[in-house]
């Protein structure tokens, strides 16, 4: 065997140059020797792939290739990450710049002295208290229950009929703007559920006001609720205009957070209802106890300017805090004016 393996290079070369013919039985052992020899020594004098030194070299080369590939991949990934990060940075920088310029613009508004006086006279603004106790001027005096829940509807078919056609004052605004708490405060009740969690009111709720007033205060689902499922949003966007078309709706109070002013959702809503019937509207700036008086004055002025294009006059922009009670008295005056007295209601029924 050893002898054969020594003569293998010559034999191998001779065998390769010959045409493939049947190998006689006597030469089979030689062919086997060639095959076995080719596993230990190559024809060019290199060690065969199974040789430990060669295997180590192959493994080292493969490891180097792998390492190079990983380096290339890491470089490509970090390049694309830095590209997207710089795009995000550019976008947020643009947003921040827009915010800054908006804020600059807002702060450049000079608070008018008459607006500052109004704020001071009602005790509005951060850390202020109402100058007149609102409990002295309730919506309905001596009523055990100033308002009573009568109905809730999630679709047009189940709207409260209100066949007497008593006036309905609808409260609407973005979710969490303070609708429910304001209804409680202005009516002097606690029956409307208030929660910090947005989107609690998912139906239109009618609250009947006690005698001698006649009418309803209506709590509506919040619009622009980011977490609502799409089908729920669609349902609401249908039900709200359907409700506002009703002739019983005598006034719409659009609540806007005094800390933020008009948001996109408010503008879109006001725009969408401007195509409906001519419905008297008021803007109620809520949570005024959370805003510094000078900021509140600027906010009032800028909101008055913003809503002018929707036909809403400054006399219909009201500042209030359901928490401190400041501004509740003028809001109650507005509601009383809107809700008919019993005599007026009876006269209307007799017609």
Ligand X SMILES: Nc1nc2c(ncn2[C@@H]2O[C@H](COP(=O)(O)OP(=O)(O)O)[C@@H](O)[C@H]2O)c(=O)[nH]1
- Contacts with Mg ion by CB under 5 A lie at 179-180, 201
CB contact at 8 A, 287 and 258: yes
Considering all CA atoms of the chain, what is the largest pairwise distance in Å, rounded to the nearest integer? 132
Least distance in angstroms from the C-beta of 322 to ligand X = 4
Least distance in angstroms from the C-beta of 316 to ligand X = 19
CA distance 62 to 218: 76
What is the contact mask toward ligand X in residues 241 to 280, using x (rule: CB under 6 A)? ----------------------------------------
Contact partner, 175, from ligand X, Mg ion, none, Cβ < 5-8 Å per class: ligand X
Least distance in angstroms from the C-beta of 179 to Mg ion = 5
Classify each residue of 117-131 as buried b or exposed e, where b means 16 or more C-beta atoms within 10 Å of its C-beta.
Answer: ebbeebbbbeebebe
Contact partner, 281, from Mg ion, ligand X, none, Cβ < 5-8 Å per class: none
Least distance in angstroms from the C-beta of 192 to Mg ion = 7
Which of 172, 177, 283, 334: binder of ligand X (CB under 6 A)? 177
CA distance 111 to 93: 30
CA distance 286 to 300: 11
In this structure, what are the phi and psi dihedrals at residue 151, rounded to the nearest 5 degrees? -160, 155
Least distance in angstroms from the C-beta of 276 to ligand X = 21
Which of 165, 259, 323, 336: binder of ligand X (CB under 6 A)? 323
Sites for ligand X among residues 189-228 (CB under 6 A): 194-196, 200-201, 222
Taking the least distance from each CB to ligand X, the nearer of 122 and 166 is 122
Helix axes 230-244, 264-273, angle to 10 degrees: 40
Which of 123, 125, 130, 178: binder of ligand X (CB under 6 A)? 178
- What stretch of H or E contains 307? helix 293-308
Residue 289 found at the interface with ligand X (CB under 6 A): yes
Interacting stretch for ligand X, rule CB under 6 A, among 85-93, 281-289, 295-303, 309-317?
Answer: 281-289
Coil vs helix vs strand at 340: strand
Residue 286 found at the interface with ligand X (CB under 6 A): yes
In terms of phi and psi (left: phi > 0; alpha: psi -120 to 50; beta: otherwise), the region of 199 is left
Q: How far is CA 319 from CA 108, 150, 189, 298, 341, in A?
A: 21, 28, 20, 12, 25
The residues of the shown chain that bind ligand X, judged by CB under 6 A, are: 173, 175-181, 194-196, 200-201, 222, 286-287, 289-290, 321-323
């Amino acid at each position: 065997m050893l002898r054969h393996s020594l003569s293998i290079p010559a034999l191998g070369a001779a065998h390769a140059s010959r045409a493939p013919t049947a190998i006689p039985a006597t030469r089979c052992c030689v062919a086997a020797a060639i095959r076995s020899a080719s596993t230990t020594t190559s024809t060019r004098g290199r060690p065969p792939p199974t040789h430990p030194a060669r295997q180590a070299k192959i493994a080292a080369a493969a490891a180097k290739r792998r390492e190079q590939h990983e380096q290339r991949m890491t470089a490509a990934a970090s390049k694309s990450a830095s590209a997207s990060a710089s795009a995000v940075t550019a976008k947020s920088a643009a947003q921040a710049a827009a915010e800054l310029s908006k804020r600059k613009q807002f702060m450049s508004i000079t608070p008018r002295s008459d607006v500052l006086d109004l704020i001071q006279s009602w005790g509005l603004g951060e850390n202020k208290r109402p100058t007149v106790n609102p409990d002295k001027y309730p919506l309905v005096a001596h009523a055990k229950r100033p308002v009573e829940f009568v109905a809730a509807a999630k679709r047009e078919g189940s709207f409260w009929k209100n066949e007497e056609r008593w006036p309905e004052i609808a409260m609407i605004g973005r979710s969490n703007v303070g609708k429910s708490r304001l209804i409680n405060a202005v009516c002097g009740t606690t029956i409307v559920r208030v929660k910090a969690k947005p989107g609690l009111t998912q139906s239109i709720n009618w609250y009947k006001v006690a005698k001698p007033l006649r009418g309803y205060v209506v709590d509506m689902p919040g619009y622009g609720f980011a977490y609502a499922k799409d089908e729920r949003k669609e349902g609401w966007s249908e039900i709200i205009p359907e409700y506002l078309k009703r002739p019983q709706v005598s006034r719409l109070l659009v609540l806007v957070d005094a800390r933020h002013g008009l948001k996109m959702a408010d503008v879109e809503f006001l725009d969408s209802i401007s195509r409906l019937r001519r419905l008297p509207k008021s803007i109620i700036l809520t949570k005024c106890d959370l805003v510094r008086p000078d900021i509140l004055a600027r906010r009032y002025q800028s909101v008055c300017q913003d809503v002018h294009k929707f036909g809403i006059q400054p006399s219909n922009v009201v500042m209030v805090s359901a928490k401190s009670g400041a501004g509740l008295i003028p809001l109650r005056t507005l509601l009383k004016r809107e809700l008919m007295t019993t005599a007026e209601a009876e006269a209307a029924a007799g017609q």
